[in-house]
Amino acid sequence: MFSLKYFLNEIKNILVIRLWTIGESILTLPMIHALRKKFPKAKINVLVTKRSKDVFVGNKDINKIILVGLRNLKLFRTFDVVIDTEPYLRLSALLSFYLGERRIGFSHGIRSLLYTDKIKFNDKQHAVLTFLDLSKVVGAWYKPDKLIKLWVSERDKKIVKNYLKKIGIKKTDFLIGICPGAAESARQRMWSAERFAELADKLIEESKAKIIFIEKNKNLIRKIQSLMKYKSFDSDGLNIKQITYLIENCKLFISNDTGPMHIAAAQGVRTIGLFGPNTPIRYGPYGKENRALYHKIGCSPCINPHKGAFPKCFNKEFQKCLKLINIEEVLSCLKND
């Protein structure tokens, strides 16, 4: 383990590895903030893929964003400390071994042999705190009450404002964002198109809401809209930073267990997450104003990201865990708040 002298006086160059998923990348930002508070003069770098890069762009706690690639070969043992936030990728463990003098990572799996300091992945708490357990090894820790807000450029904000104006959305409108999709690694996290359509119609009828769907799968959006009685909108053509600001303009966000749900929570939007194959204990929308709907059954959670387990639904009543969440239950979250 690190000596007190080592982490107080000699840590000057830190690397955080975060290669996969937008959602979990957002959940690492409090850990990075803890590192910045503990080591205000150190250089804090993040090693990312193009997929996760935009989460970190503009973050004031970060000095440099490094993309994974052959240029990383020049960085042999460049970093005093490498924190590998990936829970199961072998590539990230290999990169930490190559790039860092000291390596902090999770203790499960053969990959853990490459770390100098290991912590147990605690699957009984939120992932925000589990990532903070990694930085706690070097004395950087706090318990956040909210996520770190994502940065958006003025140019991207202007594009979103113009888009909202074009489709007739005003600041005074009760704009509700809905994310009906999920990342390709586990599509079984998706509530049905039929229920999203019925929910959207009820929100329009009962709350005079305007609905905008946040989803890159155009076919899914078309299917939901074809089932609806009322008009709705979508985020077609916007990039991830613009979608972030679009979500920020929502008064409420309803989502499957996926990246945009965490974006909404980070931007301070009241968020309702729908869970079944995964557990909200670890991945619910972080923040006291947010809600996670979940009905545990015998085979749930079947998804275990820290083990790399993303099985297809094997329950004989396909997606029974998600089907137990009904429309009235979602609507009741609005009535109770």
Query: Which residues contact residue 287 at a Cβ distance below 8 angstroms, ignoring those fewer than 6 apart?
Result: 145, 146, 147, 265, 268, 271
Query: Which residues contact residue 255 at a Cβ distance below 8 angstroms, ignoring those fewer than 6 apart?
Result: 177, 178, 179, 214, 261, 264, 271, 272, 273, 274, 285
- Catalogue the E-assigned strands of 137-228: 175-179, 210-213
DSSP 125-142: S-HHHHHHHHHHTTT---
Q: What is the pLDDT of residue 310?
A: 73
Region 4-136: CATH code? 3.40.50.2000
Are 17 and 83 contacting, i.e. CB atoms less than 8 angstroms apart? yes
Q: What share of the chain is helix, strand, coil (3-state, %, to 5)?
A: 40, 15, 40
Q: Is the pLDDT at 312 greater than 80, yes or no? A: no
Are 177 and 245 contacting, i.e. CB atoms less than 8 angstroms apart? no
pLDDT tens digits for range 242-263 = 999 999 999 999 999 999 999 9
Token pair of 44 as six digits: 């804090």
Residues of each domain in the chain carrying CATH 3.40.50.2000: 4-136, 154-336
Q: Please, what is the average pLDDT of the chain?
A: 92
Q: What is the pLDDT of residue 186?
A: 66
Over the Cα atoms of the chain, what is R_g? 21
Q: What is the pTM of this model?
A: 0.94
DSSP 193-207: HHHHHHHHHHHHHHH
- The fold of 154-336 is Rossmann fold (3.40.50)
